[in-house]
């Protein structure tokens, strides 16, 4: 794990936030009259106030449950903000345990002829939909919402899943003026907390005494002739209170080249660490990523599954044959599992049907495929271990929890380091994993539960090279041959995208990409041989690459490979730029000049670099007899570039485009 | 034991035996697919049988068998082993089996292994439609999937249509379709695009029966008719039918419309008295069209679009009184509500069913009286009885302007006396107008500063006017994408004006660019057309198979005044050009003004229409020429001192 990229995400400062009382149903006329948000005048809507109260509730016969009450005041500024009059709440369920909305109330306030009119939310504005076996969705549609409306809404979710406390979110896709959240926890439950995001919020801890009445039945006894009766007893305990506040939180706006915008959302997460019931030994849940990894490994559908070997025992000897070298055996087994197993599209840390069933069916989720791989490697005496991973979609959980990981790959440890394998993807190669896994860190777990952190960010640049041998004709057309070679992640992504794609369709795409050249002939090598770079050989003719003005011909040195559009157009940037993996592009263009023309001028060579060697670019044009030789190299040397470097990055691209669009000028002799 | 019983049990035994062996292998292997069906195909439908039994006008059973050989992973989407259902559908049978490329049995998937989930339509916050579907992960290609299903429903308003060709990149070996009527039920049949396809119509007065064999796969091409515009299809509708608990009827549009009005709309027209009074006050003393406009604006200010589809509510609008109270509804609800308000204002208006969509102008099929359409708009006859159209789901469109979402297509107008098919407003290419005027100054260092003013009308107005709703950052991004050929473009200020009365949108943008001109050897090279370049060219097809369809025309005019940098003079100017062809016209010219400035004038008119496939290349060349001329450069050289 590179610490510098890690630190980018964690920037919690503490500021004092002044309390500010907002009461449900008491809406200010001034707010109704407000026609734009003070801090973000172009906001379509804003959350003026949000209050969330989460506490543990004890009831006889039921036990503890988790109650969460949310109150929000929302102001609608424009037509595009009308959708903020609909509220979506997801409720988890598992068998007969389910979360429920117990109380909900809402009003919409509008100013009609200078009078405040209120419209009440009724049951017909609440819809609950069964999404699947684990999730229901409730939509609350507020009545009478229009431009200018203010909405007050409050609802309580009661959950039997007391160990799963949802993240407290303090940042939304619209601005939030003031948020306060309270989490009250009986002393029996010990939670750890972890905040994230760029925007500061305040946390205060306190505690108070709480008393609950327990009812229990005594049995009747014969001696003194007592009947069974209900007795009550008071229990007093300490309740820990966490109070969180933030104000003037800006809207969270997604940007291009962002790994997962949710990583930057200001929020706090509480995770159960231990349960300490009176008279019972303290029970610890999770504490560190290392322990999380151990817990996962110990579960039956992970480590338990991994220990079984019988299902492949007939295949393994034939597969390994006489090989004794661990790497040779590993290569054979990896190829075998990658070819045999078919990913059903599900991620996950645990097996679903079981490894032998998955093996039998040749189909499985990610955990099944890569645990089969690990088990077979181990059975062949290769030093292999599973690695827990969080995918890019799953984001970054700064808090050690089992939910922090959602994916498994395999690793082989050697004296030199480790080799990462993912057999769920048909085109992945050792250490070149699919993009979805290139996130944060992974946790390698050995069978003695010792662990090793693995940096999932690729360090090696993925290469793409272009080579053109062509000629510029007197009529301004260009024809010739081009060879494109791609390796590493470039090759993996190319295979994933275009393997089995209709070739003519792909060629049309290429023709458009290369400024409308016509592809006369096309050949691709090693499309399926993952061990080699993909080589595409293209014969082309191109009409509009040169400008003929008077007796001169003008063209850009890289012809149709010229970069013309800067991916970074905006003036400023909030979040780091994520390129997924570092990359290098190399260009070699050799052009024969037309009869009767000579070079009038050539662009000057250039060599430039971004600060910290984040990127570099070189271009050189030279004339050799009657032909031109053009060489260019473009590098982005790091997967993630900090937002503070954005102006440099944008300027770097601008300069590259300026340089690449400079012209070679030929003149008629 | 009687001989009969003996025979029966022997038969049963035999049946079981056949079934058991049938499970082992099937004859649908990769080898016996005719080569012509492999071309362009990712999957081949080996057999598709749909047998519908009409027990009565409100009871039908649909039994289907589908055998498809999937050739590669792109073909997986044609597994199509699913069944949609709602509270009015009973699924009687559902099963799938997988066979490998040699026809050997691999596995059977029973009903309980199908996934059950709500069928999200992408717009509704709630929808009671659900789907049971199979998502099989293949272990090898090709493989064959056999899917058998049977369901019974009281909803006969939608009878499964027959599509002998299932989509792009899929061919059909054999497909059949039949409807058997257990009692005579008057019905209508609509056949589309059957000609030029190997299709047999074996229908009798008592039954509907079609068969097709060996239909090759097609692949998509740009600027072509949509798949549904070209695909063979047979649709059947009953004169008397049932729709989620409601009876319906109509064998002419007049009757059908009457039924819709009486049974689906009437009951929803229940605006409370207080609201009627409010509207009457609002429109007092106004002319008919002024009143209509005020009502529309009232709806736009007081409601929002929220879609909830439950039971017959999928076709019947929510009551006007409820929309009045809640302030939201779907297209049916909001249109019906607006109509009720129009009634109160004394303005006649008609609920109109339409196929909405900007990409294809799909008509309500006039020859086929049946439930059609996916959206509802409102028609208001003006003083000359010409229809003015409004979309009641939009809070922002000007009165009488529906844009490309519902323009120029046949719709069903529902009048109290019955239905009527009419056509919505058409925007002529000349009406879809954009005028761009700019004045910019080029500096000796190659940089540029300028002011651009863009005016748009018609569908081009439609493309732009919602810019006012965007955030400043989104506006800036829009212009940087719009002029993405200008490297290093800066947007200094943006002023937008939406004139809803005349339906004209005006954008004034102050721009700058550090590297507008390229310096080559002391000469400055730049493109005079800075603000309206066409840079994309239609795809090249090695073998075009479909006609050329240009969907919507437009007309652009550009005038750019260019101030040249101090100390430079013209080295060379591109020569103007004027092109005219069946697809439209294009011209540009450059003139030198006495004050030393240059004026660049450009005009492009792109017509709409359908042309034979042979014309595609000509059209492509036209656009190629346009993009070349749009990129033509001026060379400036240093003045000799």
B89-126 pLDDT, tens digit per residue, is 999 999 999 999 889 999 999 998 898 887 766 667 67
Identify the residue among B74, B275, B278, B304 best suited for mutation to test binding to A, counting A beta carbons within 10 A and taking the highest: B304
Tokens of A654: 């601008």
Find the closest chain B residue to A128 by CA distance. Answer: B126
Q: Averaged over A85-108, what is the pLDDT?
A: 93
The yes-or-no verdict on residue A662 having pLDDT over 70 is: yes
Q: Averaged over B557-571, what is the pLDDT?
A: 96
Task: Say yes or no: domain B250-423 is CATH 3.40.50.150.
Answer: no
Tokens of B111: 């009903």
Q: Do A125 and B481 touch (CB under 8 A)?
A: no
B498-525 pLDDT, tens digit per residue, is 999 999 999 999 999 998 999 988 899 9
In chain A, what residues touch B477 (CB-CB under 8 Å)?
Answer: 569-570
Does B492 contact A at CB distance below 8 Å?
no
Does B107 contact A at CB distance below 8 Å?
yes
Strands A150-159 and A63-76: antiparallel
Q: Do A511 and B540 touch (CB under 8 A)?
A: yes
Find the closest chain A residue to B470 by CA distance. Answer: A42
**Other CB atoms within 10 A of residue B155 CB:** 20
Identify the residue among B130, B487, B636 best suited for mutation to test binding to A, counting A beta carbons within 10 A and taking the highest: B487
Find the closest chain B residue to A603 by CA distance. Answer: B520
The whole-angstrom separation of Cα B2 and Cα A468 is 87
User: Do B134 and B114 touch, CB atoms closer than 8 A?
Assistant: yes
Q: Do B74 and A565 touch (CB under 8 A)?
A: no
- Return the pLDDT at B443: 96
Q: Do B328 and A141 touch (CB under 8 A)?
A: yes
A618-651 pLDDT, tens digit per residue, is 999 999 988 999 999 999 999 999 999 999 999 9
Q: Do A504 and B542 touch (CB under 8 A)?
A: yes
The yes-or-no verdict on residue A585 having pLDDT over 50 is: yes
Q: In chain B, what are the domain boundaries?
A: 29-236, 250-423, 429-638
DSSP string, A404-473: G--EEEEEEE-SS-EEEE-TTSTT-BTTB--GGG-SSEEEEE-TTS-EEEEE-S--SPEEEEEEEEEEE-
Considering only the top CATH level, what class is A289-455?
alpha beta
CA distance to partner chain B, nearest, from residue A132 (Å): 6
* CATH of region A462-668, choose from 3.40.640.10, 3.90.550.10, 2.60.120.1130, 3.40.605.10: 2.60.120.1130
* Nearest in space to B318 (alpha carbons), one of B269, B380, B362: B269
Q: Is residue A421 helix, strand or coil? A: strand
CA distance to partner chain B, nearest, from residue A438 (Å): 25
Q: Do A502 and B40 touch (CB under 8 A)?
A: yes
CA distance to partner chain B, nearest, from residue A507 (Å): 9
pLDDT band at A10 (very low <50, low <70, confident <90, very high): very low
Q: Do A131 and B118 touch (CB under 8 A)?
A: yes
Q: Do A518 and B540 touch (CB under 8 A)?
A: yes
Q: Do B540 and A508 touch (CB under 8 A)?
A: yes
User: Do B190 and B367 touch, CB atoms closer than 8 A?
Assistant: yes
Q: Do A601 and B521 touch (CB under 8 A)?
A: yes
Tokens of A429: 């190669």
The residues that bridge with A218 in the sheet, in sequence order, are A229
pTM over 0.80: yes
Tokens of A144: 């009478």
Q: Do B518 and A662 touch (CB under 8 A)?
A: yes
pLDDT band at B24 (very low <50, low <70, confident <90, very high): low
Q: Do B117 and A78 touch (CB under 8 A)?
A: no
Q: Which positions ≥6 away from B13 have C-beta within 8 Å? A: none
In chain A, what residues touch B302 (CB-CB under 8 Å)?
Answer: 144, 146
Q: Averaged over A64-80, what is the pLDDT?
A: 96
pLDDT band at B16 (very low <50, low <70, confident <90, very high): very low
Does B623 contact A at CB distance below 8 Å?
no
- Return the pLDDT at A626: 87
In chain B, what residues touch A528 (CB-CB under 8 Å)?
Answer: none
Of A131, A543, A564, the CB nearest to B117: A131
Does B575 contact A at CB distance below 8 Å?
no
B170-212 pLDDT, tens digit per residue, is 999 999 999 999 999 999 999 999 998 899 999 998 899 999 9
Q: Which range among A490-494, A500-504, B451-455, B550-554 shows the weakest confidence by mean pLDDT?
A: A500-504
Q: Which positions ≥6 away from A256 have C-beta within 8 Å? A: A567
A218-251 pLDDT, tens digit per residue, is 665 555 556 667 778 888 999 999 999 999 999 9
Q: Do B488 and A654 touch (CB under 8 A)?
A: yes
Q: Do A127 and B125 touch (CB under 8 A)?
A: yes
A348-357 pLDDT, tens digit per residue, is 999 988 999 9
CA distance to partner chain A, nearest, from residue B607 (Å): 24
Q: If you search the block for the tokens 């007893």, which residue do you land on?
A: A233
Q: Give the distance, in angstroms, between the CA of residue B180 and the centroid of all CA atoms in the same chain.
A: 33
Does B93 contact A at CB distance below 8 Å?
no
The yes-or-no verdict on residue A272 having pLDDT over 90 is: no
Mean pLDDT of chain A: 91
The yes-or-no verdict on residue A56 having pLDDT over 60 is: yes
User: What is the percentage of chain A residues whose pLDDT exceeds 90?
Assistant: 74
Does B77 contact A at CB distance below 8 Å?
no
Of A85, A601, A658, the CB nearest to B515: A658
CA distance to partner chain A, nearest, from residue B97 (Å): 14
- Return the pLDDT at B359: 85
Third-level CATH fold of A3-210+238-284: Immunoglobulin-like (2.60.40)
Find the closest chain B residue to A122 by CA distance. Answer: B326
The yes-or-no verdict on residue A262 having pLDDT over 70 is: yes
The whole-angstrom separation of Cα B565 and Cα B571 is 13
Q: Averaged over B552-577, what is the pLDDT?
A: 96
Third-level CATH fold of B29-236: Immunoglobulin-like (2.60.40)
Q: Per CATH, the architecture of B429-638 is what?
A: Sandwich (2.60)
Q: Averaged over A461-466, what is the pLDDT?
A: 97
- Return the pLDDT at A218: 65
Q: In chain A, what are the domain boundaries?
A: 3-210+238-284, 289-455, 462-668
CA distance to partner chain B, nearest, from residue A208 (Å): 42
User: Do A99 and A157 touch, CB atoms closer than 8 A?
Assistant: yes
The whole-angstrom separation of Cα A7 and Cα A643 is 12
In chain B, what residues touch A549 (CB-CB under 8 Å)?
Answer: 571-572, 574, 633, 635
Alpha helix (H) residue ranges in B345-385? none
Helices and strands per DSSP (H, E), number in chain A? 11, 37
- Return the pLDDT at B5: 42
pLDDT band at B391 (very low <50, low <70, confident <90, very high): very high
Residue A33 is inside which H or E element, if any?
helix A29-33
A531-563 pLDDT, tens digit per residue, is 999 999 999 999 888 988 889 999 999 999 999
- Return the pLDDT at B422: 97
Q: Do A345 and B135 touch (CB under 8 A)?
A: yes
- Return the pLDDT at B19: 44
- Return the pLDDT at B206: 84
- Return the pLDDT at A205: 94
pLDDT band at A502 (very low <50, low <70, confident <90, very high): confident
Q: Averaged over A184-201, what is the pLDDT?
A: 91
Alpha helix (H) residue ranges in A178-325? 289-298, 305-306, 316-320
Of B118, B126, B471, the CB nearest to A42: B471
Residue B17 or residue A126, greater confidence: A126
Report DSSP state, residue B386: -
The yes-or-no verdict on residue B305 having pLDDT over 50 is: yes
Residue A142 or residue B311, greater confidence: A142
Find the closest chain B residue to A509 by CA distance. Answer: B539
Residue B336 is inside which H or E element, if any?
helix B331-344
Of A363, A554, A658, the CB nearest to B137: A363
In chain B, what residues touch A143 (CB-CB under 8 Å)?
Answer: 325-328
User: What is the percentage of chain B residues whose pLDDT exceeds 70?
Assistant: 95
The yes-or-no verdict on residue A17 having pLDDT over 60 is: no
Identify the residue among A83, A84, A89, A146 best suited for mutation to test binding to B, counting B beta carbons within 10 A and taking the highest: A146
- Return the pLDDT at B11: 42
In chain B, what residues touch A42 (CB-CB under 8 Å)?
Answer: 470-472
């Amino acid at each position: 794990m590179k610490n510098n990229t890690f630190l980018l995400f964690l920037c919690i400062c503490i500021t004092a936030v002044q309390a500010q009382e907002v009461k449900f149903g008491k809406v200010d006329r001034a707010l109704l009259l407000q026609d734009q948000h003070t801090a973000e005048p172009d906001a379509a809507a804003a959350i003026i106030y949000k209050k969330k109260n989460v506490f543990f509730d004890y009831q006889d016969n039921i036990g503890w449950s988790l109650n969460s009450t949310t109150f929000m005041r929302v102001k609608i500024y424009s037509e595009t903000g009308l959708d903020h009059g609909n509220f979506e709440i997801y409720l988890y369920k598992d068998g007969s345990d389910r979360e429920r909305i117990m109380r909900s109330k809402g009003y919409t306030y509008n100013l009609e002829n200078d009078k405040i009119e209120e419209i009440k939310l009724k049951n017909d504005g609440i819809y609950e939909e069964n999404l699947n076996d684990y999730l229901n969705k409730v939509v609350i549609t507020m009545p009478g919402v229009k431009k200018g409306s203010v909405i007050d809404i409050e609802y309580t979710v009661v959950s039997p899943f007391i160990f799963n406390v949802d993240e407290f979110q303090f940042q939304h896709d619209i601005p939030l003026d003031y948020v306060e959240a309270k989490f009250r926890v009986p002393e029996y439950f010990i939670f750890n907390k972890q905040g994230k995001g760029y925007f500061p919020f305040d946390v205060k801890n306190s505690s108070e005494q709480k008393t609950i009445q327990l009812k229990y039945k005594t049995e009747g006894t014969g001696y003194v002739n007592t009947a069974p009766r209900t007795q009550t007893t008071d229990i007093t305990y300490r309740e820990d209170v966490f109070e969180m506040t933030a104000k003037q939180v800006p809207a969270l706006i997604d940007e291009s080249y962002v790994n997962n915008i949710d990583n930057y959302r200001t929020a706090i997460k509480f995770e159960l660490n231990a349960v300490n019931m009176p008279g019972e030994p303290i029970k610890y849940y999770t504490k560190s990523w290392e322990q999380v990894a151990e817990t996962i490994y110990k579960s039956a559908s992970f480590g338990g599954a991994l220990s079984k070997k019988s299902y492949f025992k007939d295949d393994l000897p034939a597969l390994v044959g006489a090989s004794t070298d661990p790497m040779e055996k590993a290569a054979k087994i990896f190829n075998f599992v990658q070819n045999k197993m078919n990913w059903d599209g599900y991620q996950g840390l645990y097996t679903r049907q079981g490894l032998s069933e998955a093996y039998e069916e040749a189909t499985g989720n990610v955990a099944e495929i890569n645990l089969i791989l690990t088990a077979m490697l181990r059975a062949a005496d290769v030093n292999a271990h599973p690695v827990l991973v969080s995918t890019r979609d799953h984001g970054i959980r700064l808090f050690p929890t089992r939910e922090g990981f959602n994916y498994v790959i395999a690793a082989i440890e050697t004296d030199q380091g480790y080799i990462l394998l993912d057999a769920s993807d048909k085109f992945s190669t050792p250490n070149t994993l699919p993009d979805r896994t290139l996130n944060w860190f992974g946790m390698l777990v050995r069978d003695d539960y010792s662990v090793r952190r693995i940096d999932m960010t690729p360090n090696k640049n993925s290469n793409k090279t272009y080579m053109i041998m062509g000629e510029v004709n007197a009529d301004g057309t260009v024809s010739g041959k081009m060879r494109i070679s791609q390796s590493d992640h470039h090759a993996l992504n190319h295979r994933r995208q275009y393997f089995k794609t209709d070739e003519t369709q792909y060629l049309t795409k290429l023709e458009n990409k290369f400024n409308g050249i016509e592809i006369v002939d096309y050949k691709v090598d090693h499309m399926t041989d993952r061990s080699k770079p993909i080589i595409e050989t293209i014969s082309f003719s191109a009409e509009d690459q040169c400008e003929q003005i008077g007796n001169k011909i003008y063209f850009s040195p890289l012809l149709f490979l010229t970069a013309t559009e800067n991916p970074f157009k905006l003036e400023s940037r909030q979040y780091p730029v994520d390129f997924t993996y570092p990359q290098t592009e190399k260009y070699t263009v050799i052009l024969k000049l037309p009869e009767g023309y000579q070079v009038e001028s050539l662009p000057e060579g250039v060599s430039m670099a971004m600060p910290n060697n984040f990127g570099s670019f070189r271009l050189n044009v030279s004339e050799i007899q009657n032909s031109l030789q053009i060489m260019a190299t473009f590098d982005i040397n790091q997967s993630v570039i900090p937002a503070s470097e954005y102006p440099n990055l944008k300027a770097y691209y601008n300069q590259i485009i300026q340089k690449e669009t400079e012209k070679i000028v030929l003149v008629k002799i | 034991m009687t001989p009969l019983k003996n025979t029966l049990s022997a038969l049963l035994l035999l049946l079981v035996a056949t079934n058991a062996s049938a499970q082992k292998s099937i004859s649908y292997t990769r080898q016996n697919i005719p080569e012509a069906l492999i071309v362009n195909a990712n999957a081949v439908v080996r057999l598709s049988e749909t047998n519908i039994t009409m027990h009565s006008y409100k009871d039908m059973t649909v039994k289907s068998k589908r055998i498809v050989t999937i050739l590669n992973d792109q073909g997986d989407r044609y597994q199509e082993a699913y069944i949609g259902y709602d509270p009015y559908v009973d699924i009687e049978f559902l099963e799938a089996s997988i066979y490998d490329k040699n026809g050997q049995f691999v596995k059977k998937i029973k009903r309980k292994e199908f996934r059950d989930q709500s069928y999200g339509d992408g717009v509704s916050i709630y929808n009671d439609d659900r789907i049971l579907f199979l998502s099989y992960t293949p272990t090898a290609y090709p493989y064959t999937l056999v899917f058998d299903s049977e369901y019974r429903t009281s909803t006969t308003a939608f009878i499964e249509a027959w599509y002998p060709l299932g989509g792009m990149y899929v061919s059909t070996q054999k497909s059949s379709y039949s409807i058997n009527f257990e009692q005579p039920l008057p019905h209508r049949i609509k056949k589309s695009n059957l000609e030029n396809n190997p299709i047999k119509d074996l229908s009798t007065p008592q039954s509907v029966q079609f068969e097709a064999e060996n239909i090759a796969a097609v692949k998509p091409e740009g600027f072509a008719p949509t798949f549904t515009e070209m695909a063979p299809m047979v649709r059947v509708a009953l004169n008397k039918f049932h729709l989620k608990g409601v009876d319906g009827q109509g064998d002419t549009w007049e009757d059908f419309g009457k039924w819709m009005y009486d049974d689906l709309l009437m009951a929803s027209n229940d605006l409370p008295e207080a609201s009627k009074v409010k509207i009457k006050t609002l429109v007092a003393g106004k002319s008919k069209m002024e009143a209509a406009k005020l009502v529309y604006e009232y709806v736009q200010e007081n409601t929002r679009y929220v879609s909830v589809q439950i039971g017959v509510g999928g076709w019947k609008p929510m009551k006007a009184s409820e929309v009045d109270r809640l302030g939201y509804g779907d297209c049916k609800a909001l249109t019906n509500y607006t109509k009720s308000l129009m009634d109160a204002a004394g303005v006649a208006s008609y609920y109109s069913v339409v196929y909405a969509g900007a990409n294809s102008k799909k008509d309500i099929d006039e020859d086929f009286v049946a439930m059609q359409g996916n959206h509802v708009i409102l028609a208001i006859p003006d003083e000359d009885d010409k229809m003015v159209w409004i979309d009641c789901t939009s809070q922002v469109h000007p009165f009488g302007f529906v844009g490309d979402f519902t323009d120029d297509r046949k719709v069903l107008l529902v009048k109290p006396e019955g239905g009527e098919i009419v056509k919505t407003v058409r925007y002529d290419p000349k009406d879809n107008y954009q005028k761009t005027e700019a004045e910019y100054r080029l500096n000796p260092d190659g940089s540029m500063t300028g002011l651009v003013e863009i005016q748009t009308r018609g569908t081009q107005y439609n493309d732009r006017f919602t810019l006012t709703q965007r955030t400043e950052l989104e506006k800036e991004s829009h212009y940087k994408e719009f002029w993405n050929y200008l490297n290093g473009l800066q947007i200094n200020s943006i002023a937008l004006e939406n004139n809803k009365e005349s339906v004209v949108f005006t954008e004034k943008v102050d721009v700058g660019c550090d590297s507008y001109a390229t310096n080559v050897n002391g000469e400055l090279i730049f493109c005079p057309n800075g603000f309206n370049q066409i840079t994309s060219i239609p795809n090249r097809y090695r073998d075009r198979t479909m006609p050329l369809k240009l969907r919507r025309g437009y007309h652009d005019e550009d005038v750019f005044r260019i101030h040249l940098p101090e100390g430079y003079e013209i080295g060379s100017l591109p020569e103007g050009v004027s092109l005219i062809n069946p697809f439209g016209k294009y011209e540009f010219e450059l003139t030198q003004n006495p004050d030393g400035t240059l004026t660049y004038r450009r005009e492009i008119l792109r017509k709409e229409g359908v042309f034979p496939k042979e014309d595609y290349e000509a059209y492509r060349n036209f656009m190629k020429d346009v993009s070349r001329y749009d990129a033509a450069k001026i060379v400036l050289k240093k003045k000799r001192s």
